[in-house]
Structure 1
Amino acid sequence: MKILIIGANGVIGREVTKALKDQHEIITAGRTSGDIHLDITSTDSISTALTSIGQLDAIICAAGDIAFNSFDELTQADWQKGINSRLMGQINLTQIGINHLNRCGSITLTGGIIADHSIAHGTSAATLNGAIEHFVKAVANELPNNQRINLVSPSVVTESMDAYGSFFPGFFSVDAKDVAKYYVRSVLGIETGKTLKAFGGN
């Protein structure tokens, strides 16, 4: 399979790449790194990158920024950051990407545990992760050519606990290599419209 991995240089993206690279043709992408540059906040960037690659069997997005702040201090810029990236970035990637997917191809997007379990300073993340889950469930009914779409919703990854662990008191962390298995399941399996919850001990 020919697979595009966006955010391949991130903690999760690196493990997804490792899990798939031995048996598949992998193209890595990121804003400033990878085989090609692709910024999901720009429809022009998405279109240019996908056109340059040609047809694909799978698109994986392990990227999407969100702002964390207390609700009373969330600015319009904070909200817009997540809307442009986590939400509309992945929606636009899907809408453009289906034209570059082969028949029975798949798209795998990324959400997060905060859609299900609240944390302090996580209102924006909860809102946008929840929205992208509903998008995936709904749009799965409309994709052409037997294409599939799923979402991976991970808990905080173990490798990021030093940076983010204080935001997730009492949460089970999940090793990035274990989160990567959910992306593999989405790409190589038959499910569609699903949120695959990589929550560790939950």
Structure 2
Amino acid sequence: MRILLVGATGKLGTAVHQELVERKHDVVTVSRTGGDLQYDVTDPAQVADLYQTVGQVDAVASAAGSVPWRPLAELTVEDYQAAVTGKVLSQVALVKEGLSFVTGSFTLITGVLAREPVVTGAAAALANGAVEAFVRAAAIEITPLRINAVSPTVFTEALDDYGAFFPGMKPVPLADVAQAYVRSIEGRQTGQVYEL
């Protein structure tokens, strides 16, 4: 399959890229500053241009999405807007603009905070919950195209940076998260949130 991988240079994107290449897929990598192509998917115009440049693909996999981490009392309206723009609207644009270019599936990234909130994670919880709700709603409208989300807990490989935010939560290796992307891309399910 020809797969467009967005957010390809981060920890998750690198792991997903490696797994897809090992499975003999043709992967076009995208990120803001690296990869085969450089685009900022928080800008809908750049998302539209990305598809015009890449053309038809079998699948889109998103490993991109940033959110602010602050105590609830310190979060501003701008912080919430940044979370929605950085993780929700960017992925919604990948789906909306991709409907004419994708022949198979979309796989989006969400996270454990949609169902297990932590201190300083309110903006992330809001964004993750929105992505998961969007996936379920989009699945009933875009058929025969498919859409799923991957929802991991903290990555084992990121414990040094983020482990303190997830007390008592079992980490998940990036290799396992990459397998969830494979399940979404190569499988036949739609409207699913793969929790790890």
How high is the TM-score relative to the length of structure 1? 0.94
- Quote the RMSD (CA, aligned, Å): 0.8
- The residue number in structure 1 matching 2:110 is 111
- The residue number in structure 2 matching 1:143 is 142
- The residue number in structure 1 matching 2:121 is 122
Counterpart Cα distance in 2 of 1:118 and 1:24 = 35
Check if 1:193 corresponds to 2:196: no
Counterpart Cα distance in 2 of 1:71 and 1:158 = 26
- The residue number in structure 1 matching 2:64 is 63
- The residue number in structure 2 matching 1:2 is 2
Letter of the structure 1 residue corresponding to residue 117 of structure 2:
S
Structure 1: 5+ residue stretches without partners: none
Residue 128 of structure 1 deviates from its aligned partner by: 1.3
- Secondary structure of 1:99's match? coil
Aligned length: 195
Counterpart Cα distance in 2 of 1:11 and 1:177 = 11
Counterpart Cα distance in 1 of 2:126 and 2:71 = 14
Give runs of aligned pairs for residues 143-182 of structure 1, distance below 5 A: 143-144=142-143, 146-182=144-180
Residue 196 of structure 1 deviates from its aligned partner by: 0.4
- The residue number in structure 1 matching 2:92 is 91
Letter of the structure 2 residue corresponding to residue 124 of structure 1:
A
- The residue number in structure 2 matching 1:35 is 36
Residue 123 of structure 1 deviates from its aligned partner by: 0.9
Structure 1 stretch displaced more, 25-34 or 75-84: 75-84
- Secondary structure of 1:65's match? coil
Counterpart Cα distance in 2 of 1:80 and 1:31 = 20
Identity fraction in percent: 39
- Secondary structure of 2:118's match? coil
Residue 92 of structure 1 deviates from its aligned partner by: 1.1
Structure 2: 5+ residue stretches without partners: none
Counterpart Cα distance in 2 of 1:34 and 1:50 = 15
Counterpart Cα distance in 1 of 2:98 and 2:66 = 19
- Secondary structure of 1:109's match? strand
Residue 14 of structure 1 deviates from its aligned partner by: 0.7
1:4-49 deviation digits (Å, cap 9, x = unpaired): 1111111111111111113110100001111011211101111111
Counterpart Cα distance in 2 of 1:6 and 1:118 = 26
